[in-house]
Amino acid sequence: MVFDNKLIQQRIDKAELLKKEGINPYSNDSKRNTTIEKFLNVNTDIVHKEDKRDEKRNYTLSGRIKFFRVMGKASFIKIEDESGMLQVYVTRDNFPEGFYNDIFKKNIEVGDIVEVSGYPFVTGQGELSLHANDLRLLTKAISPLPEKFHGITDKEIRYRKRYLDLIMNADVRKTFKIRSKVISLTRRFFEDKGFLEVETPMMHPIAGGANAKPFVTHHNALGIDRYLRIAPELYLKRLIVGGFEAVFEINRNFRNEGMDATHNPEFTSIEFYWAYKTYKDLIEITKEYFRYLFDHLNLPTQLPYGDMEVDFGKFSEVPLIESLYTIGDVPKEIVDDKNKIIEFLNSKNIQVKNTLSLGQLQGELFDEFVEEKLINPTFITEYPVDISPLARRSDKNPEITERFELFIAGREIANAFSELNDPVDQYERFKAQVESKESGDDEAHEMDLDFVEALSYGMAPTAGQGIGIDRLVMLLTNEHSIRDVLLFPAMKPVYAEEKHEESSPQA
């Protein structure tokens, strides 16, 4: 923090003056007995009283001053706590001599956190307010808040100084309250279904559970490298081998990849595994989960997302290969021919490696021509084996897997499949992934012999799924950058000394 800023120094001087007057600018003995929301709710009857006040009721509230207007012998301030905003009327004659002019008007200002006591009344403009009989400073803010009419428009500042963003923007606080509710409801939903919440390691000896590039760290005591978790999948399935039949983990994952509107290096998801179930059962529980969220969040089934309207009451299922020509308008005759796909992609100025397998090329077609068209919730099913190293093969067609991904508003929200529990098949697929990694694919899966051994003891038929919490919250709050639903998103370091934001205090 830069203390030589003129405005900050003025506030520091005021804090020192208060100390000399025997007033602690950082006291820790708040007597608050209610919140602003409760105060406003229980005093709505005041508007019907003849004099529109009730001096017998007394309340003590605390909050940050967001507005300050001096009118000679009286002033109006507005204070804000987590629950809401309240207007407070402060008049000179209600306070000891000298307090109003020498302490309140000169040394207390916007940004400070105060405690006020008094009774409810309704102003001539019809606003339920507090008539203050006592006011004292709890915390002196030495940095001025941004000017109230413009707030913080620079997103870089909002993300780097989230605390300031939260102070200035009630809608931002609302978004993160919804995020917290989503996580809480998710936990309750799966617990009510009989799932057991578990915790698995966040530092792995092998980067496994998904195709992604890991972060690498070093364990000093053991003298070995470890990989930050890219997914908890293989550990959760070990628990199914061990005899648990329904487990879930709300987990933080880390992937050393690019950052964009839907990707952050660390993110939150829920993964759950359910013995004696198939991916078809997961489709049904996913629909039920969404109904549960919408009911408990009191959301309509139709929500806007940018210029789209998403109908969460309309879920559909489409096999991946079928989606290429029914949704993506890819010529049907090319979707099963590797050379024709490459030729088609090249004609669209999309360059791909000739070494890609047929399944990988079909995945490329899907990414390019289908994904962004999936607005209402759509389960894309029957993924090629080549791009599903952990999913069970279909008994009817060994070239595809019993897998789905759920897409909403053109984005992947969930990934699920009937789990591969054949240890020999799993070993062979890991070997293919290792070969792919040796050919230059940084995101290919590592060989995990311990997991193969675990499967060799027998894993019950199981279905597993991961749901991205961050992207889900983006949908529910109509936010279009993952940074807007992460309290502290990853940011590029500022190496040069940051220029302190010079903004005038509110008046």
Whether residue 191 lies inside any domain: the answer is yes
Could you tell me if 401 and 266 lie in one domain?
Answer: yes
Whether residue 345 lies inside any domain: the answer is no
Could you tell me if 214 and 249 lie in one domain?
Answer: yes
Q: Which run of H or E residues covers position 87?
A: strand 84-91
Minimal CA–CA distance to 286: which of 463, 409, 465, 473? 465
Could you tell me if 383 and 439 lie in one domain?
Answer: yes
Could you tell me if 202 and 307 lie in one domain?
Answer: yes
Q: What is the spatial distance between Cα 55 and Cα 43, in angstroms, rounded to a whole number? A: 12
Per-residue pLDDT of the chain (507 residues; tens, 9 = 90+): 567 788 999 999 999 999 999 999 999 999 999 999 999 999 999 988 888 999 999 999 999 999 999 988 999 999 999 999 999 999 999 999 999 999 999 999 999 999 999 999 999 999 999 999 999 999 999 999 987 655 567 888 899 999 999 999 999 999 999 999 999 999 999 999 999 999 999 998 887 767 778 899 999 999 999 999 999 999 999 999 999 999 999 999 999 988 888 899 999 999 999 999 999 999 999 999 999 999 999 999 999 999 999 999 999 999 999 999 999 999 999 999 999 999 999 999 999 988 899 999 999 999 999 999 999 999 999 999 989 888 899 999 999 999 999 999 999 999 999 999 999 998 998 888 787 777 766 666 678 899 999 999 999 999 999 999 999 999 999 999 999 999 999 988 876 445 444 444 443
Structural domain of 436: 168-328+370-485
Whether residue 17 lies inside any domain: the answer is yes
Alpha helices in 21-147 (DSSP H): 36-42, 105-107
Q: What is the spatial distance between Cα 234 and Cα 206, in angstroms, rounded to a whole number? A: 10
Identify the burial level of 185 via C-beta atoms within 10 angstroms of its C-beta, where 0-12 means exposed, 13-18 middle and 19 or more buried. middle
Alpha helices in 199-273 (DSSP H): 233-241
Could you tell me if 189 and 100 lie in one domain?
Answer: no
Residue 458 neighbours by CB distance under 10 Å: 9
- Who contacts 89 (Cβ-Cβ below 8 Å, separation ≥6)? 74, 75, 76, 121, 123, 129, 130, 131, 132
Could you tell me if 423 and 309 lie in one domain?
Answer: yes
In 334-491, at which residue ranges do the beta strands (DSSP E only) sit? 378-381, 403-408, 411-418, 462-468
Q: Which residue among 101, 130, 145 closes a domain?
A: 145
Whether residue 101 lies inside any domain: the answer is yes
* Total domains present in the chain: 2
Could you tell me if 71 and 26 lie in one domain?
Answer: yes
Whether residue 12 lies inside any domain: the answer is yes
- Who contacts 298 (Cβ-Cβ below 8 Å, separation ≥6)? none
Whether residue 54 lies inside any domain: the answer is yes
Could you tell me if 389 and 281 lie in one domain?
Answer: yes
Could you tell me if 44 and 106 lie in one domain?
Answer: yes
Q: What is the spatial distance between Cα 138 and Cα 136, in angstroms, rounded to a whole number? A: 6
Minimal CA–CA distance to 212: which of 444, 468, 411, 469? 444
The CATH number assigned to the domain holding 218 equals 3.30.930.10
Whether residue 495 lies inside any domain: the answer is no
Q: Which residue among 145, 160, 192 closes a domain?
A: 145
Could you tell me if 291 and 417 lie in one domain?
Answer: yes
Q: What is the spatial distance between Cα 119 and Cα 96, in angstroms, rounded to a whole number? A: 18
The CATH number assigned to the domain holding 137 equals 2.40.50.140
Minimal CA–CA distance to 338: which of 360, 320, 319? 360
Three-state DSSP state, 11: helix
Q: Which run of H or E residues covers position 114?
A: strand 113-122
Could you tell me if 306 and 444 lie in one domain?
Answer: yes
Whether residue 267 lies inside any domain: the answer is yes
Could you tell me if 293 and 212 lie in one domain?
Answer: yes
